[in-house]
Chains A and B, each alone.
Chain A
Amino acid sequence: MPTLLGVFDNPDDVAEVITRLRARELGALETFSPAPFDQIDEALDEKPSKVRVYTLVGGIIGVCLAYLMQIWMSYDWPIVFSGKPYASIPAYTIIGFELMVLFAGVLTLIGFLIVGGLPQFSTLKGYSARFSAEEFGITVDCSERDASEVEAVLRANSAKEVSVVDA
C-alpha cells in the first residue's frame, strides 16, 4: 500500500485537498503544518476537540474537592474563627475557585497529550524538517489502484511536489 506525500505552500489548498480526498474515500490522511490553521482543522474534523471534556471534568473535580476538603478539615478540628460557622461557604469560595482552575489546568494538559496523541515516539511517514519551516504536507495511504487518482487530486490543488514516501 503506497503512501503519497504532497507538499503545499498554502493552507487553503491543504484544506481543499482534504475535503476532496475525503469525499472520494481515497485512503487515510495525515497532515503536517508549521502553524495552526483553522481551515485545516475544520476540514479534518468538524467536531470540537475532546480536550474540553478534560477541562470540564478537571474543573468540577477541583471545585468539589476544594469545598469538601475545607469543610471536612474545619469539622475535624473545630475552632470558631471570627464568629463564622465551621463550614462557611463564602470564605471557602476563594480556594474553591483556585483549585477548580488548578485541576482544570492540569487535566487540560493531560487532555492535550491524550487527545493529541503525545508523546509520539516514532517519526511519521513523510515527516521532515521542512514541515517545521514553512511548508505544508499531506500524506495519503492509498491502494495501488488509487495512487494515480490521489496524485491527480494533489496536483490539481497546486501541490509543489508529489512523491511516494513508502511503497
Chain B
Amino acid sequence: MADTNEPAPRPTESQLNRDILSVMEGASPGYFLLLACAALTFAVGAAAFLYQVRYGMGVAGYSHPVYWGVYIVTFVFWVGIGHAGTLISAILYLFRAKWRNAINRAAEGMTIFAVMTAGLFPLVHLGRVFKFYWLLPYPNQRALWVNFKSPLLWDVFAVNTYMLISIIFFYIGLVPDFAIARDRSTGIRKLAYTVLSLGWQGTGRQWKSHNRAVLHLSGLATPLVLSVHSVVSWDFAMSLVPGWHATIFAPYFVAGAILSGFAMVCTLMIPIRRIYKLEHIITDYHFENMTRFLLLTSTIVVYAYAIEYFVAWYSGVEAEQTSFWERAFGSYWVSTWIMIICNGVVPQLFWFKKLRTSVPVIFVIAFIINIGMWFERYVIIATGLSREFDPAVWGQYTPSYVELAIMCGSFGFFSTLFILLIKAVPIVAIAEMKELAIHERLHGGAH
C-alpha cells in the first residue's frame, strides 16, 4: 500500500494509557441520552415480540408461500455484520497487518454483539419459542435426536461456536488491558478489573502464553469465520428453491458479510473517534484501509450478482430465469435496485482517493452499504420464496409492523450493548498499540 497516507506520528505509551482510559471515565448527558434511545428501541422490539408470543405467528407478515421473512433476513444481516470483526482480529493478525491494532477491539466487540443479536432471530422466528432447546441434541423423553443432515442444525452449531470463540478471543486480548485499567483505577472499578485481569503483570511467561493463544485462536477463527457464513448460505443453497440453489452462495455470502461488517465498523468507529477525540490513535489511514476492503468486497459482490443472473439465463431452467426476472422487474424491483445501487454502485466511488480519504463521505457510504446489505438478504429470501416453481402458488410478502418493530428492536439491542461496552473496556487495544508505539520510538518509521 505504497500510496496510502502515512499515518500520523503515534502518541507515547503513557499518553495511550491516558487517552484510551479516559474514554471509560465519567459519562456525559449525551451518553445517557443515546443509551436511553437505544434501550427504548430495544424495549419496543421486546414488546412486539411478547405480543407475537401471545397472539402467535399470524401477527408476523408470514403468508403462503413466504414463511421466512424479516426475521431470517435480519438474522443473516447480523451474522454478516460480525464477520468484519473476526477478519480484522484474526485474518489481519495472521497477515501481520499491524494497522488492525487500532480498530480490532471495537470490531471484536461489534462481532460478539452482532452474533448475539443474530442469535435472537431464530428464536423470534420460532412458533413456540419456549421450545427453542429442541434445536440442541439432548437426551429427552421422546428419545429423539436432531437431524444432523440439516443445514439448519449446522447453523446452530456454527453460530454458537462462532459466538463462543469470539468471546474467548475478545477476552484473551482484553486481559493485559484490564491490568492497565486496574493499575489506574480506584474503588469498585479497581476491584472489577483486578478480577477480570486475573492478576496479569506482563511477565515473560504470561506474554508468551498470551501470544501463542492469540496466534492459535487466529488460526482457528480464520476458517471458522469463512465457515459460518458459508453454513448460513447453505440454509438456502441446500434447498431447491429457484434463486437459492446455487454453488456460488458460500463465497457470495462471505464477501457480502465482510462488506457489511466493514461498513458497520466504519459506521460505529467514525462517531466514537469524533466524540472521544481519538483522531491521533484511529487515524484517517485506518479508515482508508477499510475503504479498500469495502471496495474489494463490493466488487466481489457485484460479480456474484452478475454471475447469478448469468447462471439463471445460461442454465436454461425456466424457473430460475423467471425468478431472476421477477427480482429485477417484478413486484420486488424496488428492493432489488436498492440492493444493486447501495452495494454495487455506490461503493465504487472509493476508486477515487479523494472520497476514500474523506471521513464524512466514508460514513455516508458505509451507512448506505448497511441499508443495501439488509435489502440484499430481503431480496434473496422474499423473492426466492414468493416465486417458486408453480405460478399457481406464487404469493406476495409484505412485512408486518410487528416484524419491523422487532427488527428495529434488534438495532436497539445491539446499540445498547455497544454503548455500554464503550464504558466497560478500553475501546482500543492499548497493549497492542504500545507494541507499535515502542517499536516506533526505538526504530522510527511506522507500520
B-contacting residues of A (Cβ < 8 Å)?
A: 10-12, 29-37, 40-41, 44-45, 48-52, 55, 69-70, 73-74, 76-77, 79, 81-82, 84, 88, 91-92, 94-95, 97-99, 101-102, 104-106, 108-109, 111-113, 115-124, 127, 129, 131-134
**How near does chain B come to A13, taking the closest CB pair, in angstroms?**
10
Question: Total contacts A to B, CB within 8 angstroms?
Answer: 193
| Binary contact readout B214-231 vs A (1 if CB under 8 angstroms, 0 otherwise) | 001100110110010001
A124→B201 contact, CB < 8 A: yes
Q: Contacts A40-B204, A105-B217, A109-B168 hold; do A99 and B161 have CB atoms under 8 A apart? A: yes
Q: Contacts A94-B227, A99-B157, A120-B201 hold; do A112 and B210 have CB atoms under 8 A apart? A: yes
| Chain A residues within an 8 Å CB radius of B102 | none
* Segment at the interface with A among B177-185, B276-284, B400-408: B177-185
Interface size for chain B: under 10, 10 to 19, 20 to 34, or 35 or more residues? Answer: 35 or more
A36→B207 contact, CB < 8 A: yes
Q: Does B149 sit at the interface, judged by CB under 8 A?
A: yes
Return the contact of A98 from the options B149, B157, B201, B442 (Cβ within 8 A).
Answer: B157
Q: Does B435 sit at the interface, judged by CB under 8 A?
A: yes
A134→B434 contact, CB < 8 A: yes
For B433, the closest partner residue in chain A by CB is A35
A133→B438 contact, CB < 8 A: no
Q: Contacts A35-B435, A108-B216 hold; do A134 and B13 have CB atoms under 8 A apart? A: yes
**How near does chain A come to B309, taking the closest CB pair, in angstroms?**
29
A98→B227 contact, CB < 8 A: yes
| Chain A residues within an 8 Å CB radius of B208 | 41, 44-45, 49, 115-116
B203→A124 contact, CB < 8 A: yes
A-contacting residues of B (Cβ < 8 Å)?
A: 12-14, 17, 137, 143-150, 153-154, 157-158, 161, 164-165, 168-169, 171-172, 175-176, 179-180, 183-184, 198-213, 216-217, 220-221, 223-224, 227, 231, 431-432, 434-435, 438, 442
| Chain A residues within an 8 Å CB radius of B137 | 69, 73
A36→B435 contact, CB < 8 A: yes
A118→B202 contact, CB < 8 A: no
| Chain B residues within an 8 Å CB radius of A69 | 137
| Chain B residues within an 8 Å CB radius of A102 | 161, 164-165
For B175, the closest partner residue in chain A by CB is A118
B154→A108 contact, CB < 8 A: no
| Chain A residues within an 8 Å CB radius of B179 | 132
Return the contact of B209 from the options A91, A101, A111 (Cβ within 8 A).
Answer: A111
A77→B143 contact, CB < 8 A: yes
| Chain A residues within an 8 Å CB radius of B149 | 81-82, 84, 88, 91
Q: Whole-angstrom distance between the alpha carbons of A79 and B227 in the complex?
A: 27
Q: Contacts A88-B149, A104-B216, A109-B213 hold; do A118 and B164 have CB atoms under 8 A apart? A: no
B212→A49 contact, CB < 8 A: yes
A132→B165 contact, CB < 8 A: no
B154→A94 contact, CB < 8 A: yes
A40→B207 contact, CB < 8 A: yes
| Chain A residues within an 8 Å CB radius of B145 | 73-74, 76-77
B209→A112 contact, CB < 8 A: yes
| Chain B residues within an 8 Å CB radius of A50 | 209
Q: Whole-angstrom distance between the alpha carbons of A106 and B161 in the complex?
A: 10
6 CB < 8 A contacts A-B: A10-B442, A34-B438, A77-B143, A105-B169, A108-B168, A124-B201
B202→A34 contact, CB < 8 A: yes
| Chain B residues within an 8 Å CB radius of A51 | 209, 212-213, 216
**How near does chain A come to B161, taking the closest CB pair, in angstroms?**
4
Return the contact of B154 from the options A73, A84, A95 (Cβ within 8 A).
Answer: A95
Return the contact of B202 from the options A45, A48, A105, A132 (Cβ within 8 A).
Answer: A132
B431→A35 contact, CB < 8 A: yes
| Chain B residues within an 8 Å CB radius of A74 | 145, 148
B148→A111 contact, CB < 8 A: no
Q: Give the residue among A34, A73, A115 with the most B Cβ atoms within 10 A.
A: A34
| Chain A residues within an 8 Å CB radius of B220 | 55, 101, 104-105, 108
A112→B213 contact, CB < 8 A: yes
**How near does chain B come to A72, taking the closest CB pair, in angstroms?**
9
Q: Contacts A49-B212, A105-B165 hold; do A73 and B13 have CB atoms under 8 A apart? A: no
Closest 6 pairs between A and B when the two form their complex, measured CB to CB: A120-B199, A134-B13, A116-B209, A129-B183, A49-B212, A112-B213
| Chain B residues within an 8 Å CB radius of A105 | 161, 164-165, 168-169, 217, 220-221
Not counting A41-B207, A81-B149, A115-B208, a sample of 14 additional A-B residue pairs whose C-beta atoms are within 8 angstroms of each other reads: A36-B207, A44-B208, A45-B204, A51-B209, A82-B149, A98-B157, A101-B161, A101-B224, A102-B161, A104-B220, A111-B209, A119-B199, A129-B183, A134-B438
Q: Whole-angstrom distance between the alpha carbons of A13 and B442 in the complex?
A: 11
**How near does chain A come to B112, taking the closest CB pair, in angstroms?**
14
| Chain B residues within an 8 Å CB radius of A111 | 209, 213
**How near does chain B come to A85, taking the closest CB pair, in angstroms?**
10
Q: Whole-angstrom distance between the alpha carbons of A112 and B12 in the complex?
A: 29
Return the contact of A30 from the options B203, B216, B231 (Cβ within 8 A).
Answer: B203
